Chains A and B, each alone.
Chain A
Amino acid sequence: MRRRIGIDRASDEMRLGAGISPLRSGVVTRLLWAGGLAALLWTAAAWALGWLR
């Protein structure tokens, strides 16, 4: 079930063994995604608010 939803407990336990918290695993990738989406959103907002003229 965990593998199916994108979380693999065996991988998490290996990360724990290597001293990496499963809660922080992949946080940089997720922050990059969030930053990219936020940049897209603010560009659209700038268009709607007339800041690009």
Chain B
Amino acid sequence: MDPYAALIQPFVEFEFMRRALVACLALSLGCGPVGVLLVLRRMSLVGDALSHAVLPGAAIGFIIAGLSLVVMSFGGFIAGLAVAVLSGLVARVTPQREDASFAAFYLISLALGVLIVSTRGSNVDLMHVLFGTILAVDDASLQLVVSIATLTLVILAVIGRGLIIECFDPGFLRAVGGPGAALHFAFLMLVVMNLVAGFHALGTLMAVGLMMLPAAAARFWAGQVATLAATSSAIAFAAGYAGLLLSYHASLPSGPAIILIAGGIYIVSVAAGPRGSLRTRFLPRRHLEA
């Protein structure tokens, strides 16, 4: 097949492919750095939990206003934030650790969301909320996703250094008067915001995929936070582009195709990346040889 027809023409010819590609670019720029910070803060599974926590809010929004983008997004944002705050609260006022309280609240949230959608909506609606439809991203959805990515970039530019210092040296952050709790809360808000953006495209079940898989893969290619974030965004966009093409040419569902390509990049990174991969461990290069 002609390379132009295979790699570029679908995006030139079809508006829905262009929208999906730009949605992938926006998600990559927003989710890439946020995912890296989640990995560095050892909160990878918290991202997954929060992505499921968005569901009941989106479902209530759906019951109130049908498939309304703004109402479902707002509901999802409130629900995700509520789970983050409640989990943090339980972890602070009881002996239970935050991972356990997150697991408890996200399971309650997930069950509640599925219950609401399945009793008041059809199976098609449930599938839409759970799996998303990146090829059906309309003008309003695209503008929302791009706005969230823009806001994420600006917020990270302002508080990013504090977040990184909090990851590696919380004692120093306290010593210089850094607002550790406020930074943590702002970071959770960023995570929820990006998951709400991702859920329109990939659904609540896979929204976290473009956040965590590229960030986890980037760990095998880069060592500094800025390069990790750039690598993570680049991997996320490459997965989005390749996944869209795969779904277009092979008539596959686009969301799983994108996440599976990101998964493939992760496996290749684990096997052959230049930093701490299986290759560097079991097939080290010769050095100091006379």
Residues of A within 8 A of B (CB): 1-2, 4-7, 9, 12, 16, 21-27, 30-31, 33-35, 37-38, 41-42, 44-45, 47-50
Contacts and interface: CB of A to CB of B under 8 A. Distances in A.
Size range of the chain B interface in the assembly? 35 or more
A41 B146 CA distance: 7
Nearest to A22: B176
B142 A49 contact: yes
Contacts of A30: 156-158, 160-161
A24 B160 CA distance: 9
A16 B175 CA distance: 11
A45 B143 contact: yes
A23 B26 contact: no
Contact of A5 (B25, B160, B168, B178): B168
18 contacts: A1-B168, A6-B224, A7-B161, A7-B169, A9-B172, A22-B176, A23-B165, A23-B178, A27-B158, A27-B161, A30-B160, A33-B157, A34-B153, A34-B156, A34-B157, A37-B153, A41-B26, A41-B146
A5 to B, nearest CB: 5
Given A2-B169, A37-B29, A41-B26, A48 B15 contact: yes
Given A41-B150, A47-B22, A49-B142, A5 B157 contact: no
Nearest 8 A/B pairs, CB to CB: A30-B157, A34-B153, A34-B157, A48-B22, A48-B18, A6-B224, A38-B150, A23-B162
B19 to A, nearest CB: 5
B225 A5 contact: yes
Interface of B: 15, 18-19, 21-22, 25-26, 29, 139, 142-143, 146, 149-150, 153-154, 156-162, 164-165, 168-169, 172-173, 176, 178, 223-226
A26 B226 CA distance: 13
A26 B159 CA distance: 11
A27 B165 CA distance: 14
A7 B153 contact: no
A33 to B, nearest CB: 7
A21 B150 CA distance: 25
B169 A9 contact: yes
A41 B29 contact: yes
Given A33-B157, A38-B153, 10 more contacts: A1-B168, A5-B224, A6-B225, A12-B172, A22-B161, A27-B161, A34-B153, A42-B150, A45-B143, A48-B15
